Structure 1
């Protein structure tokens, strides 16, 4: 039997029926990723597997480094073919890492290749895919269509001009491409280069930014601009949401102090973050957006390699920050002002699964189905065990039936079988419980929930 077959990961007849009849053919709403809108708008053709599959993929890079492969074959100047051959050599050593499953799902779904990738098959697989990848039928837009994608949301900084999203609005492309607003650089006031960023934001809005009020006005202008161009979501990648009481005068003083290139204390930074996040949260509510918070990453741990290669190159890990008390205070402050918009919380530390799963129930007030969501398994947790634990925590402490489902959070145009991976895992969990009698033998009941999680809930929640 092929490793990737029609019932891959499905361990009984209930799981098989749930997947094939209720999950498999649902369109994909990928509401958070890091795809390049330029590549989509220009319908880029990558030409070979390295360009479409390995460039930018720090999951693969970490595995290759662990195996002892020189950086020249990862982010360096080796040829595309040599980089691919090194990746192929790595794949057999990724057994039990999700990369092994993803690799073979992606080869099967995009290229109809079911051979196991290794040093012996690498040459033939590389050459067998060359003709396809160099053809128009494997362009970025066609790769998205191939995956049955209905909507994708890329991620852009407030200073982005959304040039390529505007181009896409005028193209006859059946996949809707939107964006999400990621204002992290305006929030992290202690970061090196903060003032340089604020100067660029000032140029973007054609206004001076000399006070906290000016900053809020600039961000409001950019939110309005994003909204006018179809944006319905924001996203934030923070260690944690730290929250302190503040006064407007305090926050303005802190901002002006930073603009004068003076050092900011940790307490001052927390007060500033509290103020700017409240302003943003209230503004998102006004525009009817969904706000997302990705919490818990410890970034750029290897200073030497970060200085050489920059961020997002594979030097991040799970952090062990405290989350609950300040997160509760932040959400509660918005809720008290009736300004809490739809919210998705993602935890990177698996120890926070139950913390976040119970937190969302505090603010689901009956006004909207699943108003506050526990986000899908993210980054280090978007694998079988991580997804299973997230689904179990949500099931035990909330309503799995209201969950808005999976996303790729990826930079790769070949990553969309991760939705299939999630759907198979979901159906297998439910199918096993149907078999054991823990769930009723009612396929329309359980299958309806599967369809909702895979597609319907996201379609209703985001209101694209």
Structure 2
């Protein structure tokens, strides 16, 4: 067996057919990133990062978890150490990330953005830091130009109903050629677990909606006004990050009583909470159907497990894990309630527990009614699963239980402007999967048709599924295949 060079042009492409599929069909397709956490303010301001630490390590809990596991003190992760010192600790950690996806991502990003082919380690750290940081300070490396460099055609951010969307509005008024669209993420409006936190949020929502919220009806009125506001400013996607789907039976009186109880500062019991969240999910889904939006459900994260660090640093700082929630029965019940009223809109369901792959792949098939291709989707490998093994297992389950050819493809789910090579990573694995089976005689050697399927999964399926008219004006010139 011939030893291959690390991260060469045929990285992850183990057959000649896979190489042809990637280089001739997938490589140059534009990127639709329909779910991420990029800060709209930074795109609107078209900022330049001062150094690679700011672009790479600020807010990246993937790297923080690896550094902590490698024995790095918190002051170098989320703390007050200088940017170079933080980078130095990350460079010392990278050699220990072998076989972790961070090793591939780190070096793909160095290559694709900075043309740096050197392996990052303590001896190369200063050279790489200086070279990358100098480039990042150049106007050609502003955040908008980073998006252009990666051939990004559209981005969907993740936005709370109380957000005023000022930066999305600004970018649209400026005519920025890459649409930056909001996604409606109403998790905080559902999470009535902590009365103090919840009521503080409702006070913020009152101001945004200009509605006094003293009853459940008031809450719905406020949320509906924000749903409408988001739609007016280009939103056509909702997103829910929840442990599991809630599908309890409830009465209107029970939900009114539960809301009044939590609004008065009292703790809801588990039954009341589950019924309240069930009512909210159904109402939000019906609004999405009325608007023809795509709704997304990210299921299975067990969040904020380290209470000490949660208190010290807050959420989204790297203390979450895969949960083992039972998903199938409630998910079936929830989707069926919407479907039997003909109020089930296009839906993407993501799992964080790989044990749920086949569950979700088959669940989607229960509600694909032939109205459109892939109406209910088993979503891309997400969070802890968006790595080589996780992506392949997701694609295998989707292939075996449904139609991989109708899949809407990859997303970054990232807060980093340097994360877009994850789309390349996915496309390389996709091409290797098809290429290997062609060469084994398990698939016809019809390169043109297989190449079309590859392009559909990489770009066209998402383009058609989300029906974003924004893409029709300028994207044809960017389809360089």
Quick check: TM above 0.5? yes
Query: How far apart are residue 172 of structure 1 and its match?
Result: 3.6
Alignment partner of 1:181: what SS?
Answer: coil
* Residue pairs, 1:202-217, within 5 angstroms: 202-217=206-221
Contact map agreement 1:370 1:403 (CA 8 A) in 2: yes
Question: Do structure 1's residue 225 and structure 2's residue 238 form an aligned pair?
Answer: no
Q: Quick check: 1:161 aligned with 2:164?
A: yes
Alignment correspondent of 1:19: 22
Deviations 1:92-118 (A, max 9, x none): 100000000000000000000011000
CA distance in structure 2 between the partners assigned to 1:242 and 1:221 by the alignment: 24
Partner of 2:389: 385
What is the alpha-carbon distance in structure 1 between the residues aligned to residue 323 and residue 133 of structure 2? 40
Which of 129, 138, 141 is the aligned partner of 2:141? 138
* Alignment deviations for residues 47-97 of structure 1 (CA, whole Å, 9 cap, x no partner): 111000111000000000000011111111111111111101110100000
TM-score normalised over the length of structure 1:
0.99
Partner residue in 1 for 2:319: 315
Q: Is 1:106 matched up with 2:109?
A: yes
Deviations 1:250-299 (A, max 9, x none): 11111111111122111111111111111000000001100000000000
Matches within 5 A, 1:27-46: 27-46=30-49
Please identify, of 72-81 and 219-228, the stretch whose mean Cα deviation from structure 2 is larger. 72-81
- Cα distance, 1:314 vs. partner? 0.4
Question: Could you list the runs of 5+ residues in structure 2 that have no partner in the other structure?
Answer: 469-481
Once the two structures are superposed, residues 200-251 of structure 1 have per-residue CA deviations (whole angstroms, 9 ceiling, x without a partner) of 1112111111221111111110010000000010000000012111111111
- What displacement does 1:389 show? 0.3
> Following superposition of structure 1 onto structure 2, how do residues 453-464 of structure 1 map, counting pairs within 5 Å?
453-464=457-468
> Secondary structure of 2:267's partner?
coil
Equivalent residue number for residue 441 of structure 1: 445
Within 1, Cα distance between the matches of 2:106 and 2:174? 32
Give, in whole Å, the separation in 2 of the partners of 1:111 and 1:3: 17
2: CA distance, partners of 1:66 / 1:302? 14
The residue that corresponds to 2:98 in the other structure is: 95
Q: 1:373 aligns with which of 360, 370, 377?
A: 377
Structure 1 residue 173 displacement after superposition:
2.1
Question: Does the aligned pair in 2 maintain the 1:2–1:114 contact within 8 Å?
Answer: no
Q: CA deviation at 1:130?
A: 2.3
Aligned to 1:306: 310
1:73 aligns with 2:84: no
2-structure distance, mates of 1:136, 1:102: 24
In the aligned structure 2, how far is the partner of 1:457 from the partner of 1:130? 37
SS at match of 2:182: strand
Aligned residues: 464
| The one of 173, 177, 181 aligned to 1:178 | 181
Q: CA deviation at 1:326?
A: 0.5
Report the counterpart of residue 404 of structure 1 in structure 2: 408
CA contact (8 A) 1:4 1:108 kept: no
Contact 1:14-1:435 within 8 A present in 2 as well: yes
What is the alpha-carbon distance in structure 1 between the residues aligned to residue 135 and residue 429 of structure 2?
Answer: 30
For residues 264-303 of structure 1, the aligned pairs below 5 Å read 264-303=268-307
Distance 2:315 2:297 in 1: 19
After superposition, residues 322-401 of structure 1 pair within 5 angstroms as 322-401=326-405
Deviation per CA, 1:157-184: give whole Å up to 9, x if none.
0000000000100224221110100000
Q: Compare 167-176 and 46-55 and name the one that shifted more.
A: 167-176
Moved over 6 A (4+): none
Tell me the distance in 2 between the aligned counterparts of 1:45 and 1:83.
19
Structure 2 residue aligned with 1:9: 12
- Residue 420 of structure 1: aligned partner: 424
Q: Contact 2:156/2:180 (CA < 8 Å) preserved in 1?
A: yes
* Equivalent residue, structure 2, for 1:55: 58
Is the contact between residue 246 and residue 281 of structure 2 (CA under 8 Å) also seen in structure 1? no
Question: What TM-score do the two structures reach when normalised by structure 2?
Answer: 0.95
Q: Does 1:197 align with 2:201?
A: yes
Would you say the 8 A contact 1:56–1:411 is kept in 2? yes
Checking the alignment, whether the CA contact within 8 Å between 2:349 and 2:360 is kept in structure 1 is yes
Displacement of 1:2: 4.7
Superposed displacement of residue 19, structure 1: 0.5
What residue is the counterpart of 2:130 in the other structure?
127
In 2, Cα distance between the equivalents of 1:172 and 1:129?
A: 29
Instruction: Choose from 83, 88, 102 the match for 1:85.
Output: 88
Tell me, yes or no, if structure 1 residue 149 matches structure 2 residue 127.
Answer: no
